[in-house]
Amino acid sequence: MRSLIFLLAFGLFSYTSYAKRASLAEFLPNYIAVQEALAAGDFSLAQQKVKEFENLIKNAKGKEIEDLKIPLRAFQNAKSISATRKLFKKISKPFVSLVETNKDPEFDIIYCPMAGAKWVQRRGEIFNPYFGKEMLHCGEKAL
């Protein structure tokens, strides 16, 4: 019985430690899902993807991750796609740094001079999350 209690306690401790050591890279697919929804101009989908992102990140720890939690919460209160696009700039900064540092061949960093901001997206054709259909392909590869 003591062994079982020890194993359960150790397992819980290990899970908690893992949550605290979560890396930003683990959340890149969630970020990309938000980027793609904003580029498509789908406000409802963007809100849904942000909610999923927020649920996954809520127990994670780390400075970069903590810095994401406030804008992710603000996304939930946004009343328009233009408001969510402004918040996306804050969410993009740590992911841009991550991809710049790791030079992941799957992703591009794109800069939009009209928005004055960068974002990360899957490699290929540019899909601008800051302007959507209005300027869908506006931007230039920054990396």
pTM for this predicted structure: 0.82
pLDDT tens-digit map of 51-84 = 999 999 988 988 888 889 989 999 888 999 999 9
- Cα–Cα distance for residue pair 73/69, rounded to 1 Å: 6
More confident residue, 50 or 63: 50
Whole-number average pLDDT of the chain: 86
- Cα–Cα distance for residue pair 82/85, rounded to 1 Å: 5
- Domain parsing of the chain, residue ranges: 24-141
pLDDT tens-digit map of 2-25 = 443 433 343 443 333 334 446 899
pLDDT of residue 22: 64
Sign of CA dihedral 107, 34, 29, 14: positive
As beta bridge partners, residue 121 has 108
